[in-house]
Amino acid sequence: MSADHRIPWRAPDPRLNPGVSPVLADLAFAAARAFNVAWSGHSRAELAEETQMGADGTPSYLIDEIVEEEIVRAAARHNVNVLMRRSGSSTAATRRPSSSTPSTVPPTLSPACR
């Protein structure tokens, strides 16, 4: 892929209020990092590829999945559960591997939800 098909803009580090939760801060920084990794490793067309259909009937795109996976991974480091609206199987089953794409961490249910 030629560099001119990549998105040159980079997401800045989030500017957060001093009292923001360290967990929310980590999730915000994880999202910004994932956007930048996605933009530097995929073309605009690749990032706009539809990968799944959401529970509400709207499509999910590759960029959504890359960023969501990184947010879920960051949440797991804090033992925070993430509820996803997407229907169907885990993203790992529908994604093509990419060296610049974060690995999938399967979401877990809290003991109260099992």
pLDDT digits (tens, 9 = 90+) for 47-86: 999 998 887 888 999 999 999 999 999 999 999 988 876 6
Q: Which residue has the tokens 């979401």?
A: 107
pLDDT value of residue 85: 63
pLDDT digits (tens, 9 = 90+) for 26-41: 999 999 999 999 998 8
Interatomic CA distance for residues 61 and 76, integer angstroms = 23
Q: What are the residue ranges spanned by the domains of the chain?
A: 10-113
- Percent of the chain past pLDDT 90, that is, above it, reads 46
Tokens matching residue 80? 């925070």
Written as one string, the DSSP assignment of the chain is --GGGB----PPPP---TTS-HHHHHHHHHHHHHHHHHHHHSBHHHHT-EEEEBTTSPEEEHHHHHHHHHHHHHHHHTT------B-SS-GGGTPPP-TTSPPP------GGG-
Interatomic CA distance for residues 1 and 27, integer angstroms = 30
Question: Residue 31 half-sphere exposure, CB side, CA atoms within 13 Å?
Answer: 10
